[in-house]
Amino acid sequence: MPKRKASGKVTIALDAMGGDHAPEEIVKGAIAAANGTDGVQVLLVGQENVVREELDRQNSTGCVLDIVHADQVIAMDERPVTAVKEKRESSIVVGIELLKRGEVAAFVSAGNTGAVMTAASLMLGRTKGINRPALGAVFPFPTGPLLCLDLGANSDCKPTSLVHFAKMGSIYMEKIFGMESPRIGLLSSGEEDTKGSQMVQKAHRMLRKSKLNFIGNVEGGDIGSGRADVIVTDGFTGNVLLKLGEGLGEMLIGALRRGVAENPKLKEAAELLEPTFQSVISTLDYREYGGALLFGVNGNVVVAHGRSDADAIKNAIKTAKREVLQDIAGAFRG
Amino acid sequence: MPKRKASGKVTIALDAMGGDHAPEEIVKGAIAAANGTDGVQVLLVGQENVVREELDRQNSTGCVLDIVHADQVIAMDERPVTAVKEKRESSIVVGIELLKRGEVAAFVSAGNTGAVMTAASLMLGRTKGINRPALGAVFPFPTGPLLCLDLGANSDCKPTSLVHFAKMGSIYMEKIFGMESPRIGLLSSGEEDTKGSQMVQKAHRMLRKSKLNFIGNVEGGDIGSGRADVIVTDGFTGNVLLKLGEGLGEMLIGALRRGVAENPKLKEAAELLEPTFQSVISTLDYREYGGALLFGVNGNVVVAHGRSDADAIKNAIKTAKREVLQDIAGAFRG
């Protein structure tokens, strides 16, 4: 195994086999990160011959990219718990193992999200005082950054979990964005305290009693409105919302193109405006620009989008580096 | 009280006091409907002097618009159950009463949605075999019409309720859109049967056993994708989604305007494209173009958006007329 601690550099393990465009785009992203992101050393985890071949095919001259061999691959549609238990030699399990042993400071994967979460929970352990890990992401809205969690780790949540998500979210925005007292909103079906499911109403009462800067319920329309810095919700609602956001973005671009097809006069206008729209739409898809974070496990784990291209991978590595430098996992523990 | 049954016309009671822009826009919408929508007779329910004054201020010459006096008004933020019980002379209670007595064929309101639902459930009664009413709306996506329910009537749902929503949705799309075997999708956090909350997984198993054309789970991104004709979900998720859709629309228009402000060269392009975008964005806000329907009560009730303008009211009246002509409430009973 290659030496992994280059002094002063943050060493990050990257799942070379995970994602719809693995290993090509993953390796390309690793090369870009190694060339572009100062102070990062990337360790590619995957089938050595496959990764080596890909490195050779691409121009990686001068790049310091080490490979850690992992014999197996967990497919995108495998059942997480079974896959993690049975494929101990998979890139996901091997990558999390490296993190557990302290050989790397973070793990990044665009592979099976459930498997990454399962491996991280089982192998790294949960942060003290946190009963369920959550998937969170920061959306860079024009009104300011918004952290949303849970985006899909827990389909059923207890009110306590939502309070834990809020606490972690508050620490995160304080640490990473330097906010003094991040405004925490609870996603509900109305602003009044009495709105929402029984679970949400209970979480509301608990958040009211907490020391957090809880601003009360927020609604679907507040995502992007700038009213809150952190929005907490259960993983079912978070996942549905996230995918709706992505779908709507595609729908709008589709409508734009159809409009142009029907009326060629609009072509020039559309070309002028498309970048503006693409940038707004891409804010809805967190995984495009930096990956989601696994909150509540003992280690820095970044989950990139399954369809990540090289740019997305490069950004996910950047996110991981930031987590490490700010010692987010440590802040949650403390 | 004025005579209410003009032969061959559908008589619709309209809450003149409900909505952010009542009574001005409501009365204006009623005038437009009376002038434009063939075969509709609108009955304005509200404080007679207020409504009369508004009718005088606007040009209603030649319009046959009757007024039914209702002394009280339920405000937008009143607690539904209390308001309905205590304000028996409110426009909402009086309007539902007219519907119950068969003096009108439908009731339309842009007022307090909770109060309309409560009054309808308590006074009209629930459809046989349906344990909870649901709020549903048809979104006219470019990929075809999509009925979504529940959009907010029930924050907590049992699996049985979701099956009932699916049955009503199937009948509705068959009756109104002539679909032979509407495709029913269950909103979840993944396509696999095992994805989603415990409640959703149970509903999935029940839907599999039903005689409906159940296509399985659909995701947030399938809203607008054309995969399903009916998407069922609990009222909490439905409400959050709906408001996110509206919020995203506003965010995109905002981004367009900011883009133009920063780069005046884009002004002309934006002006050319704005109608295209507005039309896509307005598909996300069902209440803008026809109101939502209350499924599962014995009567035709249309809930218009609180911020409805005259056009929205006119469209809600049109929707109500369609319900009546297709005897939707009757089809659910049968």
pLDDT tens, residue by residue, B147-174: 999 999 899 999 999 999 999 999 999 9
**pLDDT at residue B323 above 60?**
yes
The distance of B83 to chain A (nearest Cα, Å) reads: 16
d(CA A332, CA A309): 30
d(CA B284, CA A120): 38
Angle in degrees, CA A75, A81, A82, rounded to 5: 70
Contact status, residue A293 vs residue A14, Cβ threshold 8 Å: no
Nearest by CB to A198, which of B156, B198, B200?
A: B156
Angle between helices A267-283 and A235-262 (to 10 degrees): 170
Query: Which run of H or E residues covers position A84?
Result: helix A80-86
pLDDT for the residue numbered B248: 81
Angle in degrees, CA A49, A53, A55, rounded to 5: 120
Amino acid symbol at B212: L
Q: Do A243 and B221 touch (CB under 8 A)?
A: yes
pLDDT for the residue numbered B2: 38
Q: Do A222 and B187 touch (CB under 8 A)?
A: no
Helix intervals (H) in chain B:
24-36, 48-57, 80-86, 91-100, 113-124, 159-177, 198-209, 235-262, 267-283, 286-289, 310-326, 328-333
The distance of B80 to chain A (nearest Cα, Å) reads: 12
Out of A140-144, A304-308, B74-78, B286-290, which region has the weakest mean confidence (pLDDT)?
A: B286-290
d(CA B242, CA B283): 11
Q: What's the average model confidence in pLDDT over B189-213?
A: 94
pLDDT for the residue numbered A272: 77
Out of A155-169, A230-244, B260-274, which region has the weakest mean confidence (pLDDT)?
A: B260-274
pLDDT for the residue numbered B141: 86
Of the two residues B36 and A86, the one the predictor is more confident about is: A86
pLDDT tens, residue by residue, B91-109: 999 999 999 999 999 999 9
Of the two residues B18 and B326, the one the predictor is more confident about is: B18
pLDDT for the residue numbered B36: 77
List the A144-149 sheet strands across, edge first: A66-69, A40-46, A10-15, A106-109, A300-303, A292-295, A134-141, A144-149, A230-232, A184-187, A214-218
Contact status, residue B118 vs residue B96, Cβ threshold 8 Å: no
Contact status, residue A165 vs residue A295, Cβ threshold 8 Å: yes
d(CA A173, CA A181): 9
Q: What's the average model confidence in pLDDT over A308-334?
A: 88
Label residue B287 by pLDDT band (50, 70, 90).
low
d(CA B334, CA B330): 6
pLDDT tens, residue by residue, B5-62: 445 789 999 999 999 999 999 999 999 998 876 789 999 999 999 999 999 999 888 7
pLDDT for the residue numbered B86: 97
pLDDT for the residue numbered B7: 54
Contact status, residue A98 vs residue A45, Cβ threshold 8 Å: yes
Q: What's the average model confidence in pLDDT over B307-311?
A: 89
Cα–Cα separations (whole angstroms), residue B300 to A94, A211, B85 = 60, 48, 21
**pLDDT at residue B125 above 60?**
yes
Of how many residues is chain A composed? 334
Q: What is the pTM of this model?
A: 0.89
**Among B28, B85, B39, which residue's Cα sits nearest to residue B312?**
B28
d(CA B190, CA B170): 22
Provide, as residue numbers in chain A, all residues whose Cβ is less than 8 Å from the Cβ of B195: 155
**pLDDT at residue B208 above 90?**
yes
Provide, as residue numbers in chain A, all residues whose Cβ is less than 8 Å from the Cβ of B192: 77
Out of A185-194, B53-62, B98-107, B206-215, which region has the weakest mean confidence (pLDDT)?
A: B53-62
Of the two residues A36 and A232, the one the predictor is more confident about is: A232
Cα–Cα separations (whole angstroms), residue A251 to A257, B280, B284 = 10, 8, 11
**pLDDT at residue B133 above 80?**
yes
- Residue A135 CA, distance from chain mean position: 7
**pLDDT at residue A5 above 60?**
no
d(CA B83, CA B93): 10
pLDDT for the residue numbered B277: 75
Amino acid symbol at A201: Q
Contact status, residue B111 vs residue B25, Cβ threshold 8 Å: no
Calculate what percentage of chain B has a pLDDT beyond 90: 64
pLDDT for the residue numbered A260: 76
**pLDDT at residue A327 above 90?**
no
d(CA A22, CA A25): 6
**pLDDT at residue B278 above 80?**
no
Label residue B245 by pLDDT band (50, 70, 90).
confident
Nearest by CB to A235, which of B189, B198, B239?
A: B189
The distance of A243 to chain B (nearest Cα, Å) reads: 5
Neighbours of B334 (CB within 10 A): 7
**pLDDT at residue A180 above 90?**
yes
Nearest by CB to A244, which of B198, B244, B266?
A: B244
d(CA B311, CA B171): 28
Provide, as residue numbers in chain B, all residues whose Cβ is less than 8 Å from the Cβ of A223: 244, 247-248
Contact status, residue A245 vs residue A237, Cβ threshold 8 Å: no
d(CA B21, CA B112): 13
**pLDDT at residue B3 above 50?**
no
B262, closest residue in chain A (CA to CA): A276
Counting DSSP H helices and E strands in chain B, the numbers are: 12, 11
Provide, as residue numbers in chain B, all residues whose Cβ is less than 8 Å from the Cβ of A242: 220
d(CA B61, CA B46): 20
Q: What's the average model confidence in pLDDT over A29-40?
A: 86
Of the two residues A86 and B1, the one the predictor is more confident about is: A86
Provide, as residue numbers in chain A, all residues whose Cβ is less than 8 Å from the Cβ of B194: 79
**pLDDT at residue A308 above 60?**
yes
Provide, as residue numbers in chain B, all residues whose Cβ is less than 8 Å from the Cβ of A250: 221
Out of A105-109, A266-270, A294-298, A309-313, which region has the weakest mean confidence (pLDDT)?
A: A266-270
Query: Which run of H or E residues covers position A116?
Result: helix A113-119
pLDDT for the residue numbered A255: 75
Contact status, residue B224 vs residue B141, Cβ threshold 8 Å: yes
Amino acid symbol at A60: S
**pLDDT at residue B288 above 70?**
no
Q: What is the DSSP string of B243-255?
A: HHHHHHHHHHHHH
Of how many residues is chain B composed? 334
Query: Which run of H or E residues covers position B186?
Result: strand B184-187
Q: Do A276 and B254 touch (CB under 8 A)?
A: no
Out of A90-99, A226-235, A269-278, which region has the weakest mean confidence (pLDDT)?
A: A269-278
Backbone angles phi, psi at A153, to 5 degrees: -75, -30
Average pLDDT of chain A? 89
d(CA A313, CA A289): 8
d(CA B319, CA B52): 25
d(CA B160, CA B4): 39
Q: Do B221 and A142 touch (CB under 8 A)?
A: no
Angle in degrees, CA B280, A232, A296, rounded to 5: 130
Helix intervals (H) in A216-266:
235-262
Provide, as residue numbers in chain A, all residues whose Cβ is less than 8 Å from the Cβ of B190: 239
Q: Which are the contacts of B217, defined by CB distance < 8 A and separation ≥ 6?
A: B185, B186, B187, B188, B190, B191, B192, B193, B195, B196, B200, B204
Out of A56-70, B46-60, B226-240, which region has the weakest mean confidence (pLDDT)?
A: A56-70
CB pairs under 8 A between A and B: 174
Angle between helices A198-209 and A159-177 (to 10 degrees): 50
Structural domains of chain B sorted by starting position, each given as residue range(s) with its CATH number in brackets = 1-125+297-334 (3.40.718.10), 136-285 (3.40.718.10)
